Amino acid sequence: MTRGLFISFEGGEGAGKSTQIKLLAAKLRAKGYRLTVTREPGGSPGAEAVRHVILSGAAETFGPKMEALLFAAARSDHIEQVIRPAIERGDIVLCDRFVDSSRVYQGGSGEIDPVFMTALERVSLNGMMPDLTLIFDIDPALGMQRATARRGDDAADRFEKETLAVHRSRREAYLEIARKEPERCIVIDASQPVETVEHAVTEVVFRTVEACFASAPGQAQEA
Ligand code: TYD
């Protein structure tokens, strides 16, 4: 059966995920690999509609459980409409944020029963976990500086405007996931210059891609 490769990119605000995904996508395309590049929250029409509701803060008043449900609903639609079909076609999927964001941002808030989070995760993922997750690690003080500079005059979203202490605990939660799942997660030092981070990302991803398609060379590549 044809099967692609699912790679997710995680990390706090201003860690540089989006920049690195663009650079990596260009390199993979240049090698002829077929890609699906997507993001969360969003990535499918249904999930993009939910994205606006969440990031505007409109759902905040309903509490953390409701927000977690909305993220999970958006993820379920995104998986079934976009990610699973792409993986079944044999594409490499690059996804900007995925389930670890829910584990860290919603689960790590301490306001939701872990049993509820686990159940939600099982239902929404329906067996779809990334093969590889790159965790972009950066001191939140530096990440927030970058995020503020990037945003310019636009208002901070629902999650960006939280305190440095909250961003610090998210960083620890990501590192804890990496410690618990070393086969899936690689931590990238995102405080380094763009070219250095790019080099690290390229090295890890191409190693995984080449190992994945070694038995079927050309499978994920354009004819
Ligand atoms: P986005 O503008 O895409 O941020 P970034 O460029 O940092 O990826 O906004 C996504 C925000 O939503 C981000 O602050 C993290 C948060 N989020 C969650 O809280 N839970 C989730 O499951 C996901 C996917 C994102």
pLDDT value, residue 217: 61
Q: How far is the CA of 40 from the centre of ligand 1 (A)?
A: 7
Name the residue of 105, 121, 144 to mutate for ligand 1: max ligand atoms within 8 A of Cβ. Answer: 105
Q: How far is the CA of 213 from the centre of ligand 1 (A)?
A: 31
Structure tokens belonging to residue 186: 């690689």
Q: How far is the CA of 129 from the centre of ligand 1 (A)?
A: 18
Atom 22 of ligand 1, nearest CA residue: 102
d(C-alpha 72, C-alpha 98), whole Å = 10
The pair phi, psi for residue 41, each rounded to 5°, is -70, 140
For 38-84, the pLDDT digits (tens) are: 999 999 999 999 999 999 988 889 999 999 999 999 999 999 999 99
For 83-111, the pLDDT digits (tens) are: 999 999 999 999 999 999 999 999 998 89
For 148-199, the pLDDT digits (tens) are: 998 888 988 888 888 899 999 999 999 999 999 999 999 999 999 999 999 9
Task: Tell me which H or E stretch contains 198.
Answer: helix 194-212
What percent of the chain is modeled with pLDDT above 90? 82
Name the residue of 19, 97, 121 to mutate for ligand 1: max ligand atoms within 8 A of Cβ. Answer: 97
Q: Is 133 helix (H, G, I), strand (E, B) or coil?
A: strand
Q: Name the pTM for this structure.
A: 0.95
Is the beta carbon of 4 within 6 A of some atom in ligand 1?
no
pLDDT value, residue 187: 98
pLDDT averaged over the chain?
A: 94
Domain ranges of the chain: 5-213
Structure tokens belonging to residue 194: 């763009």
Q: Name, in order, each residue with C-beta under 8 angstroms of 134's C-beta and a sequence gap of 6 or more.
A: 7, 8, 9, 10, 185, 186, 188, 201, 204, 205
Ligand 1 atom at minimal distance to the Cα of residue 159: 14
pLDDT value, residue 223: 66
Give the ranges where 31-103 is alpha helix by DSSP (H): 45-55, 64-78, 84-89, 99-101
Is the beta carbon of 97 within 6 A of some atom in ligand 1?
yes
End-to-end CA distance of the chain: 18
Mean pLDDT of 9-29: 96
Q: Say which residue the tokens 């067996």 belong to.
A: 127
- Does the pLDDT of residue 37 top 90, yes or no? yes
Is the beta carbon of 213 within 6 A of some atom in ligand 1?
no
Q: Among 131, 126, 121, 116, which residue's Cα sits nearest to residue 183?
A: 131
Atom 5 of ligand 1, nearest CA residue: 13
Q: How far is the CA of 41 from the centre of ligand 1 (A)?
A: 6
Contact 200, 189 (CB under 8 A): yes
Where b means 16+ CB within 10 Å and e means fewer, 138-163 reads bebeebbebbeeeeeeeeeeebbebe
Could you tell me the fold of the domain covering 5-213?
Rossmann fold (3.40.50)
Is the beta carbon of 9 within 6 A of some atom in ligand 1?
no
